[in-house]
Amino acid sequence: MKIRIDRFLCHMGIGSRSEIKKYLKTCRVKLNGKFEKSPNTQVDIEKDEILFDDEIVIYKEFTYLMLNKPKDYISATFDSKLPTVLDLLEFPYSNMELFPVGRLDIDTTGLLILTNDGKFSYNVTNPKKKVNKNIL
């Protein structure tokens, strides 16, 4: 599968599209051993080797994280007053546009799954799918 290099790096949490353009211009990205400067360059995610700051970036279509949600954090992607579970994430996960699957109350602690896979989230949280979420 081929996609633009800026889109690839953005999807992998390296930065926003505008940040990635700066990274390309400042020679922080290599494609198959050579510095790449064009955000429009098409890359084959199965064959090409992409490095950011000399570290290999491996394409993953979806990301799934397990998080032990602490008390006083809300299960949301954004809140102007309270800290969210996404505030607990570090780079590169903080840039991956993840969201919580389901929710836990603010005073509840426990397992929370974070993902960027909407189909998975739908299948787990839809009552018609009858997924048991009780811990034995």
Among 44, 54, 105, 107, which one carries the catalytic annotation? 105
Return the closest-CA partner of residue 111 out of 65, 63, 67, 75: 67
DSSP-assigned beta bridge partners for residue 44: 2
* 3-state class (DSSP) for residue 5: helix
Catalytic residue flag (residue 6): no
Round to whole Å and give the CA distance between 23 and 52.
Answer: 9
Round to whole Å and give the CA distance between 7 and 11.
Answer: 6
Catalytically annotated residues: 105
